[in-house]
Every structure is written in C-alpha cells, then in structure tokens.
Amino acid sequence: MSEAQGVMFEPLPWLDAHWQRLWQTRRDGRLGHALLLTGPSGLGKRRFADLFAAALMCRQPGDDGLPCGRCADCELLRSGNHPDLIRVSPEAESKSGEIKADAVRELCSRQTMTASRGPVSVLQIAPAEAMNAFAANSLLKTLEEPVASTLLFLISEDPARLPATVVSRCQRITMLPPPADSAVAWLSTRVQAQAQGLDLDLLLRLAHGAPLRALALADGAWLAKREQGFRQFQAIAEGREDPLAGADAWQQLDPALVLDWLAGWISDLLRIAQAGASAQLSNPDKCAELADLAQGLTPRSAHHYLQQILRSKALAASSINRQLLFESLLVQWAQLARGAH
C-alpha cells in the first residue's frame, strides 16, 4: 500500500470534457465497474481518479458532480484518511518495482467487504502495468465477478503492457495533452515565471506537453540537473569527459529521468540530421549545441542507439545495475559521437 495522500479538490481544466462525459455516464447508470485511464505522465490521471472517487463519496456534490470539499467525507479524503478510497502502487522499497499478487489479493478481498462509511468504495491501481502476471491474474478474478458497490480505477501510461483480458473488461478513457497555449496559460497562473526567469513554452516542451509535469519541472533544481547532464553529454561526445565518470554521476539520479533526457537529445539529433535548422526540437534551448553534435553523426547508428535507450527505459524500472547500464550507454555515445560504429 502506498502511504496516505490527500485528494486534491481543484479540477484540472484540460480534463473537463472527460469529467463531464464520465459524470453523465454515471448519471445515466452506465458506469462500469472498472475504468482504465491511460495517457502520458503529467496529465493528472491519478488526480482525476481521486476527484471522481470524491464525487462518489461526497455528501453534497454539485450538479457537475464536483465534490463540495467541505463535508465530512471530503475532509477525510483531503487528509488522505478516507477508508473507502484504497490505492495500490509498487512499494517504495520494492526492488522489482512490481505490484505483487498479495497486494492485489488484499485489495480485492477488501472489495468483498462493504464500504466502511458510504455506499461506495473506490480502488485505484497505479501504474497498472506494474502488476506482475500473478497480480494481474488475481485482478482478473475480481473483474469477472464485480461488486456493485465498488469502482476500480486502473491507471496506466503504457496500457500495451497490460493483459488484453484485463483491458477488455474496463471502460477506457484516453487522456491527451491539451493545446500548448492553454497549457501555458494554466502554468502561468501557477508559476512566477518572470520572477524565476523561466520560459514556460520551453518547460512545456520539455514535459512533452503535460502541464503537471511542466509544473514539476519549474522547480529550479530539475533544470540545474538537466543543464549539468547536458554538459556531460556534450563533453563525452567531444572527448573531454570520461564516459565512466559520466555514468558515475548519472547513476545517482532518477534513471527514468536521465533516460528521458538522453532519448530527447538523441531524438533531436536525428531531427536535425533530417530537417536541418528548421527541425522542431524537444530541447529548443539546446539548438546550437545539438546542431554541433549532429555533424558527422550517422543517422542509422543514432537510430539504433535511440532504440536501445528506449529499451533501457523499461529495464530501468527493475532491479538492473544502473552503473553498468549508464556505463554501457555512455561508452556507446562516445563511440557514436566520434563516428566509430
């Protein structure tokens, strides 16, 4: 079980259409027992699921279904103490990063009990693709024999990794990044951009268009780490830094984050190789440096390297030796950048 985390009551404007549709489905009595929320990270899938749970538990929801935020149930949800909202995620100390069968079994056995406070209980599994095969199997049994008073949310950035038997039993909601201008407008109400010298368009681009992710990146520490990571990436390419020393530094950071940077830089190099100066980059602030690095790069080898980074992203969530992973990737980068294949 993950630790208690309070529900945030502020709805996210770019998910409003999804909200209205789902609430209408509920009013029409067509709400299924299991919902699968998919889409890239940073769009607010968990927040959406939380808020919908609150809508079902609130004693005085508005006409649009939004919870009042003031009643006893809303207060319990806000403090993360409502007994009828149960979330399962990989345990923080888990080496495999998996959601194990025991956790799902426990969740599902709670389902057979009636909700403690009100008419409904909500179970949330996130990220759903972290369930191992045994866990997914346990869940399947529950999906086949749903309990009317329980709503299950599965939340996934990578639904292709979920068993088809699970997906087929869920109502699916696919969330996409909002238009950039409205995302930037929202960000500007959250971030003192000018005071902090931040470029919100750039942040949103670095966040692949996901507003909550961009908001998290607005923290100066992240930008500083990225800056340092990029300088190392550049120095290794130019033979000024030992890739093994670079690996040593990188393995101390969140591997998913570093691999995301690396994939973004290599993708941009490929874009420049293809479209030259007119290429639309994910890292427009590094345009000149990337253009230098792109010279002499063999697109085919760079493409092959990118595939390897993407495969490493799936591995990085497991118990893989990060030092070895980054050593291997950065030694290859050094070779690639020097034109040796």
Which parts of this chain interact with Zn ion (CB under 5 A)? 58, 67-68, 71, 74
CB of 116 to Zn ion, least distance (A): 16
Nearer to Zn ion, 67 or 127 (CB): 67
CB of 61 to Zn ion, least distance (A): 7
Nearer to Zn ion, 67 or 229 (CB): 67
Q: Around 336, how many Cα atoms within 13 Å sit in the side-chain half-sphere?
A: 25
**Cα–Cα distance list, 321 to 5, 149, 243 (Å):** 31, 44, 16
DSSP state of 99: B
Q: At 154, which helix (H) or strand (E)?
A: strand 150-156
Specify whether the CB–CB gap between 295 and 71 falls below 8 A.
no
Distance separating alpha carbons of residues 287 and 258, to the nearest angstrom: 19
Residue 25 has a CB neighbour count (10 Å cut-off) of: 15
Distance separating alpha carbons of residues 250 and 291, to the nearest angstrom: 23
DSSP state of 200: H
CB of 60 to Zn ion, least distance (A): 5
What token pair was written down for 321?
């030796």
Torsion of Cα atoms, 164 then 168 then 171 then 174, to 10°? 40
- Three-class HEC string of 111-143: HHCCCCCCCCEEEEECCHHHECHHHHHHHHHHH
**Parallel, antiparallel or unpaired: strands 34-38 and 85-88:** unpaired
Nearer to Zn ion, 55 or 173 (CB): 55
Question: Look-up: residue for tokens 């570093």?
Answer: 258
Nearer to Zn ion, 56 or 99 (CB): 56
Nearer to Zn ion, 76 or 302 (CB): 76
Nearer to Zn ion, 58 or 263 (CB): 58
**Parallel, antiparallel or unpaired: strands 121-125 and 34-38:** unpaired
CB of 122 to Zn ion, least distance (A): 14
Nearer to Zn ion, 56 or 74 (CB): 74
Q: What share of the chain is helix, strand, coil (3-state, %, to 5)?
A: 55, 10, 35
Specify whether the CB–CB gap between 14 and 211 falls below 8 A.
yes
Q: In terms of C-beta density within 10 A (0-12 exposed, 13-18 middle, 19 or more buried), how is residue 162 classed?
A: buried
User: In terms of residues, how long is the chain?
Assistant: 341
CB of 77 to Zn ion, least distance (A): 8
Nearer to Zn ion, 74 or 122 (CB): 74
CB of 75 to Zn ion, least distance (A): 8
CB of 7 to Zn ion, least distance (A): 10
CB of 66 to Zn ion, least distance (A): 9
CB of 187 to Zn ion, least distance (A): 28
Nearer to Zn ion, 56 or 329 (CB): 56
